[in-house]
Amino acid sequence: MVIVMGPEATRQDVESIVTVVQAAGVEAFVSRGVRRTIVGLVGDVTQLDAAGLRGMSGVRDVMRVSTPYKLVSRENHPQRSTVHVGGVPIGPETVTLIAGPCAVETPEQTLAAARMAQAAGATLLRGGAYKPRTSPYAFQGLGERGLRILAEVREETGLPVVTEVVDAHDVALVASYADMLQVGTRNAQNFGLLQAVGEAGKPVMLKRGMSATIEEWLMAAEYIAQRGNLDIVLCERGIRTFETATRNTLDVSAVPVAQRLSHLPVIVDPSHSGGRRDLVLPLTRAAVAVGADGVIIDVHPQPELALCDGPQALVDGDLDELATLMRDLPPLLGKSAATPLTV
Amino acid sequence: MVIVMGPEATRQDVESIVTVVQAAGVEAFVSRGVRRTIVGLVGDVTQLDAAGLRGMSGVRDVMRVSTPYKLVSRENHPQRSTVHVGGVPIGPETVTLIAGPCAVETPEQTLAAARMAQAAGATLLRGGAYKPRTSPYAFQGLGERGLRILAEVREETGLPVVTEVVDAHDVALVASYADMLQVGTRNAQNFGLLQAVGEAGKPVMLKRGMSATIEEWLMAAEYIAQRGNLDIVLCERGIRTFETATRNTLDVSAVPVAQRLSHLPVIVDPSHSGGRRDLVLPLTRAAVAVGADGVIIDVHPQPELALCDGPQALVDGDLDELATLMRDLPPLLGKSAATPLTV
Amino acid sequence: MVIVMGPEATRQDVESIVTVVQAAGVEAFVSRGVRRTIVGLVGDVTQLDAAGLRGMSGVRDVMRVSTPYKLVSRENHPQRSTVHVGGVPIGPETVTLIAGPCAVETPEQTLAAARMAQAAGATLLRGGAYKPRTSPYAFQGLGERGLRILAEVREETGLPVVTEVVDAHDVALVASYADMLQVGTRNAQNFGLLQAVGEAGKPVMLKRGMSATIEEWLMAAEYIAQRGNLDIVLCERGIRTFETATRNTLDVSAVPVAQRLSHLPVIVDPSHSGGRRDLVLPLTRAAVAVGADGVIIDVHPQPELALCDGPQALVDGDLDELATLMRDLPPLLGKSAATPLTV
Amino acid sequence: MVIVMGPEATRQDVESIVTVVQAAGVEAFVSRGVRRTIVGLVGDVTQLDAAGLRGMSGVRDVMRVSTPYKLVSRENHPQRSTVHVGGVPIGPETVTLIAGPCAVETPEQTLAAARMAQAAGATLLRGGAYKPRTSPYAFQGLGERGLRILAEVREETGLPVVTEVVDAHDVALVASYADMLQVGTRNAQNFGLLQAVGEAGKPVMLKRGMSATIEEWLMAAEYIAQRGNLDIVLCERGIRTFETATRNTLDVSAVPVAQRLSHLPVIVDPSHSGGRRDLVLPLTRAAVAVGADGVIIDVHPQPELALCDGPQALVDGDLDELATLMRDLPPLLGKSAATPLTV
């Protein structure tokens, strides 16, 4: 931590800082310049409150030097991690395709979508039984009935299931059906939910909040990790900007940045980023090329009848192209398509 | 709803649209132009899925014309509403000052802050017992012990209590102590929580999500209203933008815009908007001048020791100025400072 | 300037930094901690290239401590400045009303608008002869003919004229007619134009770029100041954010922030911020209440016929309310309405 | 164009609209619904002022249906265009690599950078002689001396030259040396400059404004096109968002979106988007994979000595990887690396 004093700060102001800091067991190095004084802090600064220091007399700025997250940071864990979901790896060696319907509607629709996903090379099935919707009048998901459908389709296809949980008190129920729990963008700072999935004993996919900085996203992951669960996959899904031509702006740079700051795998959701079917394949290519460890994609057998986000779902005709890119692109990046572990 | 067809749309595409729309009991008016055709829909369009329509062949755009919220809309309720909190009005006639510590720390600190608040003209006491914090390592609030302190301070001062609830399953507990429940910016799309406070039988203060559009904010209010609770006060608290000189950017225009779209009272949080003590009074003046129905402000007897957001709390020396502005500014806008109902 | 070394930095890396820095005549204070080393620089760092330092081996971050602008900074000029435009002051003592039509269209329309402005208490006339328009097919202004109309209306009304210049090579011409040159939001980083108005010998109103940080805005002012012209008035006119309910988001906090960082006067443009007539008066109140040194407002005798931005122009019926607020609000802030100097 | 009337609009209001619209030679289709009336306009609406209509009594919204740009639109020109720069194609068949130093500093540095560029597969040389800098105290470029160096290096290497012009009155001079004129992000709405390059008889690379919507970017291109120059290449270079981990946020979706809306080629600047050397190669891969028609990259023989943007320049060690990706990735997208025309 570095404390920058204002030009008006007195010698007394600086001494007060040093006293407070040393009381917390931290060393203070004072550099006096022509116009201002800088106090560099060295040691364990976690017990110091930056905001409190900033409020002290003569202080102009307090700059943090270390990262505020620990367990998910790559500083203490230089090797990138691989998370296994029902035997399927997500990590630095592979590009994992997760696909399925945005919302589970019927057993037939879910099975048909899962077959489409599999045909395109998917090794994990996505599907929502609990849907967080901006409008209380929109379809909110089938709930436990949807979870049962997902479990049946897993039985049928062998695909492990990724599904969203939206309330801390549904975590145990959802975890009893799912292979991986998804925390959505609207819950990226729902700390009770983050802690609950941290205790659920299942891998977690954590979507970035729609206006979360990369640091806030990693802090959210730290909430999960702090409860003992390090099987976390980060998912970039577009951020909110001034541009209205796309539903969100896919922040493709966030993938390598997050991979440098954290050891956790990072995947991309090209469907929700763009919000338009014609952008899904180009954005999937961009995601794989930038180094994402996987992608999660909406497919639907009849998107015009979809109860949720139909316009961004891939249809049958797109699957060949998706399969081709998932086959050809990863090897250029020293990765392979993910395949389940043979037991 | 207006459907805009692309230049490539066929007569058959237009007819399919008309069929689908009429099946939903809505009238379709087709206007054929030189380059494109426009279909205007008139009637109850709530059963039509805009996204589904957008996915149909030949459709270029689907534009919504009515607002998607109903209960909180001013269209059906032209008179602006007043919400009463423990006898204190928040509404078009008054400018209500809510003040207190960001976090409840001790009985002494809370009482001292409440006395400061009262001296400045506050008629409601704010104070957090449950704090949503970006870092799992930061102070998370005293929980129920904090609620008891608030209740004791209410006893002592007569000030009704506004306090935040961060988890749906704490709602009953918090409601048993509080006069008004606050839903914070990070929970602005935590729909389970919104529904729970909608059923709690206490007035709710709903902060705007840090990247929520005004429409999304009103949709969040609609979630609460839909559960039978219309005692909702909207609170603008700054939005996330590219500017880093302030913690958030106070969107002062949102006050008159939301007041025109909704009948609900709208207040402003100048403390969290700016995140700097020196901005609290100027932003409070701006909030009252733009027509806010109240303001909610952090005060703290010793901000340098505060466990949460100390640098933005007002201190003793600022209170006179706050009291003066709360006395002089509202009359220029045809409003008065809020005073409790005499029973 | 503070240089933060990464945990992997070698002793050799730190020594290279010290060598480079000392070669530039700057002192380096090295603080070695458990995990990393911090180098504090003290002295004249203007010859050091932060970007170059950041590229050196072992460096993790380079943090600037002083402001990068000098002439417009309040650090070296603690007294806030007053700029005089044709005898009318803009500064800390007053709230100056600048009003007139967005675009000069005809002598009659301009005179009528000037009379409206004057009736509301304006002491300066705004009006555009050169209009920067997003579309090449939109009305681009009358050019020199517009300037002549403005000069005639000044003759008639006594109101000094503020008008925009959009090209460096029109500066001399525009300055020969105008009392104050306006640089618009789209030209906030047109450095050739900034330098040209810096040499024009007339006061300048510098609008904030629509996505400029406050620091970039002050750097743009520094370009003007550096050419010898310190008669600069900063104008906040809304920034670009994700919110679409208003044309721009008025950043009302920018007024006190800029006033603390710079000695230059700061005014607000409520018309272009909101882009809606019904927001002009509320935003004007907010601007004056937050401490702005003036406001600039569009008025038009027949807005529905306006060739530019008609929907945001005030009309006759609004003028009384504007005059009332310009009379009643400034005294609450220890300011008075600006009146021309009596010679 | 579609005009949406408010619920309060009278029959008289609607008739006024129809009169105004028909006077402009446009047909009006009136659809009266239960709550509101919609007026659809068909015909040549370019003479109608949307803003003026919006200001009329009873009007709630005016929605544009056609694109406001014509010459650069793909609606009237479905075939995507190829622009040739000194014989080198930029267009749908190829991925063109443009590389060189951010700023021209010396003949030796420029030649060394050009050789690096060529080794990586570049067929066009970039290099700045006029630099728009946020600070007036930063290096502003060598001016005409820089242009002469670029011309000499072109002589030596055979690489045609792309260089920025920042002032309308330098256009003729810069065009006398350069093969392609670059308009930078800060000048994306400097309409005088756009018109000047439209008349210069040289291809133009138009960078997207840092907060320009895709539509505004295409409108800026329309300014150039309207002066008779259709040899325009659009360049996405990152937009301004709340995220501070990268200098800008590369909006990779803008590439396919702009390619669908406009027939002009679209390239990407990965160096300025991320502002960090370690992101240049990942972002280049993402750009090529999403379908960009080229990339423009900073290279520098000694980035730690660079006078401009050193930290984002690629160095020798990166070039092999760049060459490999430029060879392997384009064929997966049905494109080839650009090679000069053999005459």
Neighboring chains of A (3 or more beta-carbon pairs < 8 A): B, C, D
Among A145-159, C134-148, C250-264, the least confident range:
C134-148
Q: How far apart are CA C258 and CA C265, in angstroms?
A: 9
| Same domain for A154 and A236 | yes
**What 3 state SS string does chain D have?**
CEEEECCCCCHHHHHHHHHHHHHCCCEEEEEECCCCEEEEEECCHHHCCHHHHHCCCCEEEEECCCCCCCCCECCCCCCCCCEEECCEEECCCEEEEEEECCECCCHHHHHHHHHHHHHCCCCEEECECCCCCCCCCCCCCCCHHHHHHHHHHHHHHCCCEEEECCCHHHHHHHHHHCCEEEECHHHCCCHHHHHHHHCCCCCEEEECCCCCCHHHHHHHHHHHHHCCCCCEEEEECCECCCCCCCCCECECCHHHHHHHHECCCEEECHHHHHCCHHHHHHHHHHHHHHCCCEEEEEECCCHHHCCCCHHHCECHHHHHHHHHHHHHHHHHCCCEECCCCCC
Beta strands in chain B (DSSP E): 2-5, 27-32, 37-42, 59-63, 83-85, 88-90, 94-100, 124-126, 161-164, 180-183, 204-207, 232-236, 266-268, 294-298, 336-337
What size, in residues, is chain A?
343
Same domain, A286 and A178: yes
Q: pLDDT (tens digit, 9 = 90+) per residue, C173-193? A: 999 999 999 999 999 999 999
Is residue C271, in this structure, part of any structural domain at all? yes
Encode pLDDT of A122-157 as tens digits: 999 999 999 888 878 777 899 999 999 999 999 999
* Amino acid (1-letter code) at residue C101: P
Mean pLDDT (whole number) for C79-108: 96
Paired tokens of D254:
């803008």
For residue D4, the chain B residues in CB contact (below 8 A) are 2, 65
Q: Do D241 and A246 touch (CB under 8 A)?
A: no
The pLDDT of C117-138, averaged and rounded, is 91
pLDDT tens per residue, range D281-329: 999 999 999 999 999 999 998 876 677 776 788 888 889 999 999 999 9
CA pair distance A75, C167, nearest whole angstrom: 51
**Domain shared by D123 and D184, yes or no:** yes
H/E stretch holding A61 reads: strand A59-63
Of A233-237, A327-331, B264-268, C28-32, the poorest mean pLDDT is in C28-32
Are the Cβ atoms of B190 and A191 closer than 8 angstroms? no
* Claim to verify: residue B8 and residue B119 sit in the same structural domain: no
Separation CA A109–CA A112 (nearest Å): 5
Neighbours of C, requiring at least 3 CB pairs below 8 Å, are: A, B, D
B74 in a structural domain: no
The answer to whether residues B138 and B32 belong to one domain is no
Report the gap between the CA of B156 and the closest CA in chain C (Å): 34
Residues of D in contact with A251 (CB under 8 A): 241, 243, 249-250
D241 neighbourhood in chain B, CB within 8 Å: 242
Distance from CA of B240 to the nearest CA of D (A): 7
Q: Cβ B68–A222 below 8 Å, yes or no?
A: no
| Residues of D with Cβ-Cβ distance to A274 under 8 angstroms | 253
CA angle A104, A109, A114 (to 5 degrees): 85
Name chain C contacts of B251, Cβ cutoff 8 Å. 241, 243, 249-250
CB-CB contact of C232 with C204 (8 Å)? yes
Q: Which two tokens stand for residue A10?
A: 């007195």
Reported as a pLDDT band with limits 50, 70 and 90, residue D47 is: low
* Domain match, A170 and A291 both: yes
- Locate A173 and state its tokens: 């129920």
Tokens encoding C158:
């006594």
CA atoms of C178 and D243, how far apart (whole Å): 41
- Look at A175-189, C296-310, D70-84, D203-217 and tell me which has the smallest mean pLDDT: C296-310
- Do D130 and D170 contact (CB within 8 A), yes or no? yes
* Residue C202 one-letter amino acid: K
**Other Cβ atoms within 10 Å of C46 Cβ, number:** 13
Q: Closest residue of A to D275, CA-based?
A: A253
Provide the pLDDT for residue C342: 52
Residues in chain B: 343
Nearest CA in chain D to B33: D42
Check CB contact under 8 Å for B310 and A49: yes
D118 φ/ψ angles, rounded to the nearest 5 degrees: -65, -40
Per-residue pLDDT, A191 = 92
Chain B neighbors (3+ CB pairs < 8 Å):
A, C, D
Whether residue B343 is predicted with pLDDT greater than 50 in this model: the reply is: no
CA distance A80 to chain B (A): 23
Residue B25 lies inside a defined structural domain of this protein: yes
| A251 and A107 fall within a common domain | yes
DSSP codes of every residue in B136-159: TTS----THHHHHHHHHHHHHH--
pLDDT tens for residues B108-119? 999 999 999 999
The alpha-carbon gap from C60 to the nearest alpha carbon of chain A, in Å, equals: 9
CATH of the domain at C18: 3.30.70.1140
Chain segment B119-171, per-residue pLDDT in tens: 999 999 999 999 888 778 777 899 999 999 999 999 999 999 999 999 998 99
CB count within 10 Å of CB D155 equals: 9
The verdict on residue B313 lying in a domain is: yes
Handedness of CA B47, B51, B52, B57 (dihedral sign): positive
The H or E element containing residue C183 is: strand C180-183
CB C274 within 8 Å of CB C89: no
**What is the least distance, in Å, from the CA of A249 to any CA of chain D?**
6
pLDDT of B216-254, one tens digit each?
A: 999 999 999 999 999 999 999 999 999 988 999 999 999
Indicate whether A238 and A100 sit together in one domain. yes
Contact yes or no for D7/D36 (Cβ under 8 A): yes
My answer on whether C229 and C111 are in the same domain is yes
Asked if residue C137 and residue C100 are part of one domain, the reply reads yes
State how far residue C253 is from chain B, nearest Cα, in angstroms.
7
Give the residue from A335, A298, A332, A333 showing the smallest Cα distance to A318: A298
Say yes or no: D48 and D98 in one domain.
no
Rounded Cα distance, B266 and B258, in Å: 7
| Nearest-angstrom CA–CA distance, D272 and C166 | 27
Separation of alpha carbons C79 and B280, rounded Å: 22
Return phi, psi of residue A315, to 5°.
Answer: -115, 175
Looking at residues D242-269, what average pLDDT do you find? Answer: 96
Structural domain contains residue C274: yes
Look at B283 and C290 and tell me if their CB atoms are within 8 Å: yes
Q: Are residues D259 and D130 in the same domain?
A: yes
- Among B12, B30, B63, the domain-final residue is B63
The contact set of A with B (CB < 8 A) is 46, 49, 51-52, 54-56, 68-69, 132-137, 166-169, 186-187, 189-192, 210-211, 216, 219, 222-223, 226, 240, 277, 303-311
If one counts the domains in chain C, the total is 2
Kindly state whether residue C19 falls inside one of the protein's structural domains: yes
Instruction: Decide if D72 is inside a domain.
Output: no
pLDDT mean across residues, chain B? 90
Instruction: Indicate which CATH number applies to the domain containing C210.
Output: 3.20.20.70
- For residue A62, what is the nearest residue in chain B, using CA coordinates? B311
d(CA B124, CA B99): 7
Contact residues, chain B, for C273 at CB < 8 Å: 253
Identify the domain containing residue B51 by its residue range: 2-63
HEC string of B99-134 equals EECCECCCHHHHHHHHHHHHHCCCCEEECECCCCCC
Q: Is the pLDDT of residue B342 over 60?
A: no
Domain assignment present for A91: yes
Per DSSP bridges, beta strands D180-183 and B232-236 are unpaired
